[in-house]
Amino acid sequence: MINLASSLNKPELIVNGKRIDGRDFNELRPLKIEAGVLKNADGSAYEEWGDNKVLVAVYGPKEAPRYLADPNKAVIKAKYSMASFSGLNGHGRSNPSRREIEISKVTSDVFSNVVDLAQFPGSEIDIDIEILQSDGGTRAAGITAASVALANAGIPMKDLVYAVSAARIEDKVSIDVNMIEDNYSDADIPFAISPRNNDVLLLQFDGGVTREQMKEAENMVIEAGKTISKIQKDALKKSYEEVSKQYEEK
Amino acid sequence: MRHFVFPGEMILNSPSELNYTYIKDDKTYSKILGLFDESSNSLIPLKSIWQPRLNDKVIGVISSKGRNGSYDLEINQYIKGVLLTDRRDRQRYYIGDIVEGTVKEIERRKTVILEKPMLLKNGILMKINTAKIPRLMGKENTMINELTDLTDTKIAVGKNGYVWIMGENKNRAIEAILRIDREAHVPGLTNRIKDMLENKE
Amino acid sequence: MDAILTMKSKYIRDLLESGKREDSRELYDFRDIKIKKGLIPHAEGSAQVDLGDTRVIAGVKMVLESPHEDTPNEGNFILSVSLLPMANADYESGPPSPEEVELSRVVDRGIRSAVAIDPTSLFIEEGKVWSVYVDVYVLNYAGNIFDASSIAAMAALENAKIPEYKDGKANYENRKTKLKLNNMITSTTFAKIGDKIILDPNADEEAAMDARFTVQIDDKQIRALQKGLSGSFSMDEINKLIDISFDKHKELKGIIEKS
């Protein structure tokens, strides 16, 4: 539906040169990731990004059902879903929405790029992304956490992908929009990046930006990526370092 | 010196065919989360997925009986084991039997043909991550020998991550193996395990 | 089938290595675009688009409905793209595949984000608005159904006339006013095969492609982007493809408006 009524009660998104939550335009929300949080899964991660709360489980490689199996390589099956209680308003549907189906597909595409699929022919690697609480930028949050869960599972990959959304808020290009900014901003541009060479693995967008704003957004994403990558790596080594620390102290 | 490496991290400025790495533009990158040992130029994974190789010893559970005296063996989430038995071998296997075999052939990285079966009776089976198997064995099997001696158990270790333990003190052995699984990356492990088992702490 | 596809893909790749395409197009050329408007008189607007051998048909239906509670003065816009089983031997009936959902949503987003239709212009009276349904059917698949569908949807909207509203009902016998479009978007889809990039991939080129990139723009702004498949693009490539899309925009827009 075209929905322009929302713009009628649009809040002031920029106040005194700061964003609605007091951030600078290039400032990320607080991001915390913990690896290996689920016992059953082969790999897992829990992430809090702003008020987003995201849980990711990785299962596999396991035998793929015949209709899905590729005799030459593994198949990535990502499933993005929003918990019915994840939103601030109302109760979510239980069936996968068309939005969820699309996000699941583009997320599968991202990880099909980096995972060493040829090593596991005929298998399936499941990436289950559950958005427990949503606060804008959930697909990027899901991908960033899924990367950690895959590495935590010991699945060989070319790179540790991160994802983040850039946006245009009025005439300002900004990074990592929250829910309110997402609802009222003029463009939300999620990127997934392979940091080794800054290749773009996911790029989706609708709204309106000029070519110059697009370039500014790209640069802001790469800059923010340095922080995100570091947090991902810290999460991965943390549980191992904690064991080491026990002995260093003795 | 050992340091953490992550998927996509360049570990060598030159091309080198190391395990768990790939080469791009004449440089070597890690594919996994692991520890890179600079003195030996080796990459030790912290978690890994078994890639079968010829002559790997594997432990599995008989899941069904095939043709011509062969058996299907559950050895992994997706790799199938097919156990070939010798006609002269009078041993018969039943569903649920724990068997050790040696990889004779690998078909399309998906099925392994196993030979030289050995029935493992009266023990219990546990699973650890395959990245920890080398540590459980130790240099020239020192760790596993120490472990069996000190606990007076029999232990068979499959490259696929299954470990079979038999004996009165199997619970002590399991405790030690879980500790190896948890602390494999911390130096001084052999001594700690030895202390643990000798002092019965 | 797989063996033939693999062989063809290799052929396409080898050709591209020397900068050539199967149908001898330049890397950034569209195939011939033919648009026939108004061929379904029962529909408020319609257009059939041939993009090379790809054929799609779009129809616009306008239906009287009550507005949504939170937008009492606005009508609705609903677009979907369906892959008919007749369009390709591999297509099957049943619930839409993830590919089909992605296609629909990408085409929808471009037109929606460009606010091509002012939703307040669809308001009739309190409790009554027009809902504009644009349904695109893919009749023959020969690559690049993203652009073909977008062109067909825009052309069908261009062609649409609003039914007369009389005594609380829609009189479909009498359509007078043209549906007002505020903006025109064009869609350009690129395929990356190895490290080469081409515009408007045909079926063989799509079978060989590693990544896809769709750019939807109006006269001034980028309105929607979608990168698809598992391959990747560098930032430089993305910026270059956006530039090419702006170069193509005028010509495409002309074709949609004039036909």
Question: In the predicted model, is pLDDT for residue A1 greater than 60?
Answer: no
B8 min Cα distance to partner chain A (Å): 4
Q: Which of A78, A105, A83 is nearest to A94 (CA)?
A: A83
Does residue B150 belong to any structural domain of this protein? yes
Q: Are residues B30 and B74 in the same domain?
A: no
What are the pLDDT digits (tens) for B123-176? 899 999 999 999 999 989 999 999 999 999 999 999 999 999 999 989 999 999
- Band (B86; pLDDT cuts 50, 70, 90): confident
Query: For B132, which residue in chain A has the nearest alpha carbon?
Result: A154
Does residue B134 belong to any structural domain of this protein? yes
Interface test mutation site (partner B, options A75, A234, A237, max chain B beta carbons within 10 A): A237
Question: In the predicted model, is pLDDT for residue C8 greater than 90?
Answer: no
Does residue B50 belong to any structural domain of this protein? no
> Residue B200: its pLDDT value, please?
57
3-state SS, residue C189: strand
Share of chain C above pLDDT 90, in %: 73
Q: Which residues, 6+ apart, have CB-to-CB distance to A207 below 8 Å? A: A168, A185, A186, A187, A188, A189, C113, C223, C224
Question: In the predicted model, is pLDDT for residue C195 greater than 60?
Answer: yes
Question: In the predicted model, is pLDDT for residue B88 greater than 80?
Answer: no
Give the mean pLDDT of C16-24. 91
Question: In the predicted model, is pLDDT for residue A92 greater than 80?
Answer: no
Please state, in angstroms and rounded to a whole number, the distance separating the CA atoms of residues B30 and A245: 25
> Residue A250: its pLDDT value, please?
55
- Interhelix angle A138-152/A98-114, rounded to 10 degrees, is 40
Please state, in angstroms and rounded to a whole number, the distance separating the CA atoms of residues A240 and A36: 11
What are the pLDDT digits (tens) for C58-74? 999 999 999 998 889 99
What are the pLDDT digits (tens) for A145-192? 999 999 999 999 999 999 999 999 999 999 999 999 988 888 899 999
CB contact under 8 A, A156 and B32: yes
**How far apart, in Å, do the first and last CA atoms of chain B sit?**
31
Q: Are residues B141 and B190 in the same domain?
A: yes
Q: Which of B72, B57, B83 is nearest to B159 (CA)?
A: B57
CATH number at residue B94: 2.40.50.140
| ipTM score for this prediction | 0.91
Q: Are residues B180 and B137 in the same domain?
A: yes
Q: Are residues B63 and B115 in the same domain?
A: yes
Give the mean pLDDT of C53-58. 94
- Band (C166; pLDDT cuts 50, 70, 90): confident
C166 min Cα distance to partner chain A (Å): 25
Query: For C245, which residue in chain A has the nearest alpha carbon?
Result: A211
For C198, half-sphere exposure in the C-beta direction (CA atoms, 13 angstrom radius) is 31
If you search the block for the tokens 């069996």, which residue do you land on?
A: B148
User: Could you tell me if B190 lies within 8 Å of chain A, comparing CB atoms?
Assistant: no
What is the CB neighbour count within 10 angstroms for residue C166? Answer: 9
CB contact under 8 A, B49 and A196: no
> Residue A4: its pLDDT value, please?
43
Final residue in a domain of this structure, among B120, B135, B166: B120
Model's pTM, two decimal places?
0.86
User: Could you tell me if A185 lies within 8 Å of chain C, comparing CB atoms?
Assistant: no
H/E element holding C252?
helix C235-258
Length of chain A equals: 250
Does residue B184 belong to any structural domain of this protein? yes
Final residue in a domain of this structure, among B120, B153, B174: B120
Beta bridge partners of A59: A126
Which range of residues forms the domain containing residue B75?
57-120
Contacts of A195 in chain B (CB under 8 A): 8
From B49, B108, B183, residue closest to A121, measured CB to CB: B108
The 8-class DSSP code of residue A73 comes to: B
What are the pLDDT digits (tens) for A37-82? 988 889 999 999 999 999 999 999 999 998 889 989 999 999 999 8
Give the number of domains in chain B.
3
What are the pLDDT digits (tens) for C222-231? 999 999 999 9
Distance (Å) of CA B102 to CA B6, B82, B109, C143, C226 = 32, 11, 15, 50, 49
Distance (Å) of CA C82 to CA A244, C134, C228 = 57, 11, 18
Question: In the predicted model, is pLDDT for residue A5 greater than 50?
Answer: no
CATH number at residue B140: 3.30.1370.10
Of the two residues A5 and B26, the one the predictor is more confident about is: B26
- Band (A3; pLDDT cuts 50, 70, 90): very low
Does residue B71 belong to any structural domain of this protein? yes
Tell me, letter by letter, the H, E, C secondary structure of chain B.
CEEEECCCCEEECCCCCCCCEEEECCEEEECCCEEEECCCCEEEECCCCCCCCCCCEEEEEEEEECCCCCEEEECCCCCEEEECCCCCCCCCCCCCCEEEEEEEEEECCCEEEEEEEEEECCCEEEECCHHHHHHHHCHHHHHHHHHHHHHCCEEEECCCCEEEEECCCHHHHHHHHHHHHHHCCCCCHHHHHHHHHHHCC
Does residue B51 belong to any structural domain of this protein? no
Q: Domain-by-domain residue ranges, chain C?
A: 2-258
Domains and CATH numbers, chain A: 18-244 (3.30.230.70)
Pick the CATH number of C2-258 from 1.20.120.1810, 3.40.50.300, 3.30.230.70, 3.90.180.10: 3.30.230.70
Work out the mean pLDDT of chain B and round it to a whole number: 91
Question: In the predicted model, is pLDDT for residue B201 greater than 70?
Answer: no
From B31, B77, B108, residue closest to A62, measured CB to CB: B77
Please state, in angstroms and rounded to a whole number, the distance separating the CA atoms of residues C119 and C70: 13
β-pairing, B124-127 vs B80-83, is unpaired
- Band (A6; pLDDT cuts 50, 70, 90): very low
Share of chain B above pLDDT 70, in %: 98
Please state, in angstroms and rounded to a whole number, the distance separating the CA atoms of residues A163 and A229: 10
CATH number at residue B30: 2.40.50.100
- Band (B13; pLDDT cuts 50, 70, 90): very high
Does residue B177 belong to any structural domain of this protein? yes
Please state, in angstroms and rounded to a whole number, the distance separating the CA atoms of residues C159 and C172: 15
What are the pLDDT digits (tens) for B17-26? 999 999 999 9
Q: Which of C232, C78, C62, B52 is nearest to A199 (CA)?
A: C232
CB contact under 8 A, B78 and A158: no
Does residue B115 belong to any structural domain of this protein? yes
From A101, A112, A206, residue closest to C101, measured CB to CB: A101
Contact A204, C225 (CB under 8 A): yes
CB contact under 8 A, C230 and A109: yes
State both tokens at A121. Answer: 């022919």
Contact B18, B30 (CB under 8 A): no
> Residue C198: its pLDDT value, please?
97
From B10, B22, B77, residue closest to A61, measured CB to CB: B77
